[in-house]
Structure 1
Amino acid sequence: MTDRPLSPADRALSDAVDRGDLDAVRAASAAGADLGARDAAGRTPLLRAALADRVAVAALLVEAGADVNAQDARLDSPWLVTGVTGSVPMMRALLPGRPDVALRNRFGGVSVIPAAERGHVEYVRAVLAETDIDVDHVNDLGWTALLEAVILGDGGLAHREVVDVLLAHGADPLLPDGDDVTARVHAERRGFREIAAALRAAEAVRADDSHPDRP
């Protein structure tokens, strides 16, 4: 990151992004605005667009060459914040920019983890189907997306669906947290009966798969 003062074109671009003004974004870019210029928090214009879910603006910036992986002072990037907002249109707008799906946020997680925590079902489904993101990535807390969906979720319909989607995409139900507690045990402790049942069934499938000769 740099402390270089913003030029008039840079400021015009930042203001245009905040307004969602596509014509002004084009004009500022044509006037030489730096697509990598950062505000006081280290956010680029594309990150600001992603945070505000200004999909058309983001698509224009990506087409112009903006970096989808540029991280701010909090280690947020345009790509990473899609997992927080759960915006599938924004996720898809950033894909042409070749996002690094292994890029980690300040908790050491990839985008599918906060999405699972927040119950963003369609995002979890889309990011697993359309990228090669690691469904079993473990963050600095020792949690996978599956564990976060249970530990930080509310056990409601959205989180039940997230668990189902994660399992359908190969999430390992036997991976424990740092205290060697699995997602199923956490679900049972929290009284999430449907989630616990789904995880119990997935564990049984894993056990069968590990013993292919078992009758």
Structure 2
Amino acid sequence: MKTAWLAACALAWATGALAQTAPAAAEAARYTGVLAAAQRGDLAALDRLAPVDLRVRDGQGRTALHVATFARQHAAIRRLADAGAELGALENDRYDAVTIAAVADDEETLRLLLSLGASARRITSRYDGTALIAAAHLGHAGVVRQLIAAGAPLDHVNNLHWTAAIEAVVLGDGGPRHQDTLAALIAAGANLQLADRQGLTPLALARARGHAAMAAMLERAGAR
């Protein structure tokens, strides 16, 4: 059972990292039309193209909004939103712009997307997860706090049977970033008794992983 659990952890690390792939330089150089304008932040071109080309996608299913999010082109993101871009659109690996910004630890772009009406509640990725789970996995505490404030579901269970609190423990390194992330989840009222498929709660997992500081935090919060 322990071997299978460790294999699942390794798989989540590897495939999660691979899924969040920005357009490569060579790929971006081949962009035309609205995708090229989004990549460059060319507002004049977006004004001309966006109203009719919002559904154009690249080979990975990225829309102009995804491209602008990866490129951190804030003015382009605003212009695309004003033109009616679908803020919750998913690319081929089922990531939306909010999750892309969350994984990149890009608090400024995330703040902009949320202010424009993008949802923190979207179910994303091949794991049927959320931006909050992805950010907790990576220890992006500032992003986690933004998403919580925006109404992200604290106790969503993905198809690995993990919550944000569980991922902060099993996929984290136990260090300050993941401790800060767990603290944010605890303060927001995350359910600390939800268990994984093996029946292990965040506290049991923290102990198993040797994350003493996280285990102590969970104990103080009444976790079992």
Q: Place the TM-score, normalised by the shorter chain, in its bin.
A: 0.7 to 0.9
Once the two structures are TM-superposed, the CA of residue 34 in structure 1 deviates from its matched residue by 1.0
CA positional deviation for 1:179: 0.6
Q: Which of 102, 108, 113 is matched with 1:89 structurally?
A: 108
Q: 1:200 is paired with a residue of what secondary structure?
A: helix
User: What residue number does 2:197 align with?
Assistant: 178
Residues 137 and 167, structure 2, Cα contact 8 Å, conserved in 1: yes
- Select which of 101, 115, 124 maps to 1:104: 124
What percentage of residue pairs aligned between the two structures are identical?
Answer: 36
In structure 2, give the amino acid aligned to 1:28: L
Distance in 2 (alpha carbons) for counterparts of 1:99 and 1:162:
20
Which position in structure 1 is the counterpart of 2:162?
A: 143
Separation of aligned partners in 1, 2:120 and 2:190: 20
Structure 1 unaligned blocks of 5 or more: 1-9, 208-215
Matched, 1:166 2:185: yes
Deviation of the 1:100 alpha carbon:
6.2
Unaligned 5+ segments in structure 2 are 1-30
Counterpart residue number, 2:41: 20
Could you list the per-position Cα deviations for residues 36-57 of structure 1 after superposition, in whole angstroms to 9, with x for gaps in the alignment?
A: 2111111100011112222222
TM-score with structure 1 length normalisation?
A: 0.83
In 2, distance between residues paired with 1:191 and 1:115? 21
Is the 1:83–1:114 contact (alpha carbons within 8 Å) kept by the matching residues of 2?
yes
Larger-Rg structure: 1
Instruction: Read off the aligned partner of 1:12 and give its amino acid letter.
Output: G
Give the distance between the partners of 1:98 and 1:149, measured in 2 at CA: 24
Count of residue correspondences: 193
Give the deviation of 1:98 after TM superposition. Answer: 4.0
Aligned partner (choices 86, 96, 113) of residue 67 of structure 1: 86
Residue 211 of structure 1 aligns with which residue? none
Structure 2: distance between partners of 1:11 and 1:101: 32
- Among 28, 46, 65, the alignment partner of 1:46 is 65
Q: Is contact 2:207-2:215 (8 Å) kept?
A: yes
1:194 Cα deviation from its structure 2 partner: 1.0
Task: Choose which of 139, 143, 166 in structure 2 pairs with 1:119.
Answer: 139
How far apart, in 2, do the equivalents of 1:132 and 1:114 lie?
A: 15
2:98/2:118 contact within 8 Å kept: no
Q: Runs of 4 or more off by more than 3 Å in structure 1?
A: none
Corresponding residue of 1:152: 171
Once the two structures are superposed, the pairs formed by residues 2-17 of structure 1 within 5 Å of their partners are 11-17=32-38
> d(CA) in 2 for partners of 1:124 and 1:76?
17
Q: Distance in 1 between matches of 2:131 and 2:61?
A: 19
CA shift for structure 1 position 121: 0.9
Pairwise CA distance, 1:82: 2.3
Asked if structure 1 preserves the Cα contact closer than 8 Å seen for 2:129 and 2:158, the reply is yes
Shift of 1:152: 0.4
